[in-house]
Structure 1
């Protein structure tokens, strides 16, 4: 499997957030467009230290990116599928080839290496069942070293968040 980047290692080994950092992270997770001025007022620090703290967390890799969350139904990707995948061969090279191929598939929005009966869990977004059938038959199944795929169709979302609680 791919090694962690130097930036990821830095975040886990050198950054120790204090209460103010955690308050900043909480606000940014709730709304990444919140201004430094708004954060400053909420946590009772002036804007310069808030800005410096945010920059330090970005540089340390604690804040990885700022994103726009799109309503999948609004862009015709209303069908969510969880695919459990097992590979035939489990060598490092075979795993890396599979991962490289998964990165090229736009329908796959998340991929996790997992333990248990399967090797990977994929979160796949498609317009409808016909689009998923096309993806499964023409893109996923032909992947070299593909063993078994089990598809589970999401009927509804109970909780969907990226926010970590401190």
Structure 2
């Protein structure tokens, strides 16, 4: 894609604030007519800058009261075993995010479950069943201080 210009960035900022906005509402916010706004939005979508449109839920209100950051160290680091681990993690619904790291741990998982009993079940019946895990360290969220999905966008001058 060509570089994003100031108008494209304004479209992205508006959608990060409220993904439910329709093209007319976006056009009004950014000061452009509907047709060019629509064309720009479709171009941005085609290039993959916008990966998806989602609804963010309040975990507490749907019974997901425990968030755990789980650091995982693998025993061996062959390409086959890394791919096997990542494939297994992708299938686990409790894992909301997974990052391959450089440093002390090999992976960082964000796991969200109903409660401690659910986490214990996940840990002993799902994660422990994955081959090649050497260590698991769990850190439990007491209070979320900041949660955002919005990227800071630099608007071109």
- Pair in the same fold by TM > 0.5: yes
Give the CA deviation at 1:74.
1.5
Give the CA deviation at 1:41.
1.4
Q: Match for residue 20 of structure 1?
A: 7
**Alpha-carbon distance between aligned partners in 1 of 2:92 and 2:2, rounded to the nearest angstrom:** 34
Q: Match for residue 143 of structure 2?
A: 156
Give the CA deviation at 1:15.
3.5
What CA deviation, in whole Å up to 9, does each residue of 1:12-33 have, x standing for no partner? xx34100000000000000000
SS in 2 for 1:37: helix
Map 1:38-57; keep pairs closer than 5 Å: 38-57=25-44
**Alpha-carbon distance between aligned partners in 2 of 1:16 and 1:41, rounded to the nearest angstrom:** 23
SS in 1 for 2:148: coil
**Alpha-carbon distance between aligned partners in 2 of 1:15 and 1:57, rounded to the nearest angstrom:** 10
Q: Match for residue 110 of structure 1?
A: 97
Q: Which runs of 5+ in 1 are unaligned?
A: 1-13
**Alpha-carbon distance between aligned partners in 2 of 1:136 and 1:75, rounded to the nearest angstrom:** 21
Aligned length: 153
Asked if the contact 2:14–2:29 (Cα under 8 Å) also holds between the matched residues in 1, the reply is no
Map 1:51-90; keep pairs closer than 5 Å: 51-90=38-77
Asked if the contact 2:70–2:137 (Cα under 8 Å) also holds between the matched residues in 1, the reply is yes
Q: Match for residue 34 of structure 1?
A: 21
Return the TM-score normalized by structure 2: 0.95
Asked if the contact 2:67–2:110 (Cα under 8 Å) also holds between the matched residues in 1, the reply is yes
SS in 1 for 2:68: strand
Which residue among 134, 137, 140 is the counterpart of 2:124?
A: 137
Return the TM-score normalized by structure 1: 0.90
**Alpha-carbon distance between aligned partners in 2 of 1:41 and 1:68, rounded to the nearest angstrom:** 23
**Alpha-carbon distance between aligned partners in 2 of 1:43 and 1:27, rounded to the nearest angstrom:** 8
What CA deviation, in whole Å up to 9, does each residue of 1:38-57 have, x standing for no partner? 11112111101101111111
**Alpha-carbon distance between aligned partners in 2 of 1:43 and 1:80, rounded to the nearest angstrom:** 37
